[in-house]
Amino acid sequence: MRTIGKRVEPPPTGKPSAENLIRGAAMNEALQKLPTGTTTFIPKGKIYRFETHIEANSFQDECVITGIVKNKSRKG
């Protein structure tokens, strides 16, 4: 993996730390502030069963793309 910048990713230690909890909470808050941060675009109320992970990932990609297009068209 190529590293851009000077930030060093901490190695996994198997033990949670307060610093990582704070970093995770900050990332979650930043994601929630995005225009689409409160939705996954996957229709609720249904049970989805997939034969493979590839099929599930394709379904998720289609839902996200459709949701982004709908969100973009609403904003003009």
Which domain, by its residues, includes 61? Answer: 40-76
Residue 16 lies in a domain: no
Residue 58 lies in a domain: yes
* Cα dist from 63 to 11, 33, 73, 76, whole Å: 33, 20, 15, 20
Residue 24 lies in a domain: no
pTM: 0.53
Residue 30 lies in a domain: no
d(CA 41, CA 34): 14
Query: pLDDT digit string (tens) for 40-65?
Result: 788 888 999 999 999 999 999 999 89
Residue 44 lies in a domain: yes
Residue 22 lies in a domain: no
d(CA 16, CA 5): 25
Residue 28 lies in a domain: no
Percentage of residues in the chain having pLDDT higher than 70: 92
Residue 69 lies in a domain: yes
| Count of structural domains within the chain | 1
Give 14's pLDDT tier (boundaries 50, 70, 90): confident
